[in-house]
Amino acid sequence: MREQLRTLRLAAWLGWQLETNWASPWLFAIYMVIKPVTGSLMLVCMFYAARYATGGKVPAEFLPYLYVSNACFGLVGTVTFGLSYAVITDRERYRMLKYVFLSPAHFQTYFAGRGLARVAEGTVGAVLNIAVGLLLFSDMRQALGTTGIDWLWLAVFLAVGVVMLWAAGMILAGACLNLSRNGMFLSEGISGVVYLLSGVVFPIGVLPVWVQWVGLSLPTTYWLEGMRRALMGPVPDSAPILRGPLATWSNPELALTLLLTTAALVAFALWFWRWNERRAWRLGKLEENAGV
């Protein structure tokens, strides 16, 4: 256990160094703010464009819904993409994957550590993103200030969410162990699909019914709903457009469903990783270099 914790700590440190030490701390801080904030500002511009085009008929509550969802979803992209990209950079770029595999460090724990570094990076990005939103938009201040942040539920959803993101990242990283060329784009593509099906920038009630069911089978849908509620409270009656199929669910119901779907995801991730690790070792994929 101590050995694994040491691997976890050192891998997280290595991951953090790889992500951050290419620039001075100030430059890196600017990078951390600009990327997520401009992504959110694009959604804000879409909101104002639609409001302008409809003569102000879009409810003001739509803006914090978009903004908070997108800021939280940044974590999904950062962790899942980060983990799969760690496989690719270690194998293709630094050519260290085979040495990590040969070393006494537990291979899976090493990637869990790399994932932790991405969680830290994603959390800082999401917090900064929401802080900028609060600073710039009164609708955001109103949405987060009316009911106040429910810190207890926020902690619950964040804790389960981190495990869910790690599991999702391990599934993609496991697949990347056996994908020589396509791995880099797999997580980006999957991230786009989850962005659609989890209703990040619109309530999933807008989707065709059968697509809603696909969305409701994803833990990210429950996680985002939980995070929105913990930060902004339930959807107000003045914005019925934002009420999706989960609007009538209580927080414990949401948390329990998130927990169950996450448990299923973790079980699958553990099996899938082992299967991929064994296959990659057998086929010599751990040292295969595709020049990407």
Query: One symbol per residue from 101 to 140: x for binding other proteins (CB under 8 A), - otherwise; what is it?
Result: ----------------------------------------
Task: Calculate the CA 74 to chain-centre distance.
Answer: 5
Name which position in 5, 50, 102, 260 contacts other proteins (CB under 8 A): 50
Binding of other proteins at residue 182 (CB under 8 A)? Answer: yes
Judged by CB under 8 A, how many residues of this single chain contact other proteins? 47
Distances in Å between the alpha carbon of 9 and those of 6, 116, 117, 182, 224? 5, 9, 10, 30, 28
Query: What part of residues 200-229 is at the interface with other proteins (CB under 8 A)?
Result: 200-203, 206-207
Binding of other proteins at residue 5 (CB under 8 A)? Answer: no
Shortest reach from residue 72's CB to other proteins, in Å: 15
Q: How far apart are CA 14 and CA 114, in angstroms?
A: 7
Contact between 115 and 161 under an 8 Å Cβ cutoff? The reply is: no
Per DSSP, the residues of 90-120 read: IIIIS--HHHHHHSSS-HHHHHHHHHHHHHH
Contact between 260 and 62 under an 8 Å Cβ cutoff? The reply is: no
Binding of other proteins at residue 94 (CB under 8 A)? Answer: yes
Residues that bind other proteins (CB under 8 A): 22-23, 31, 34-36, 38-39, 41-43, 45-54, 57-58, 62, 66, 93-95, 181-182, 185-186, 188-190, 192-193, 195-196, 200-203, 206-207, 241, 291
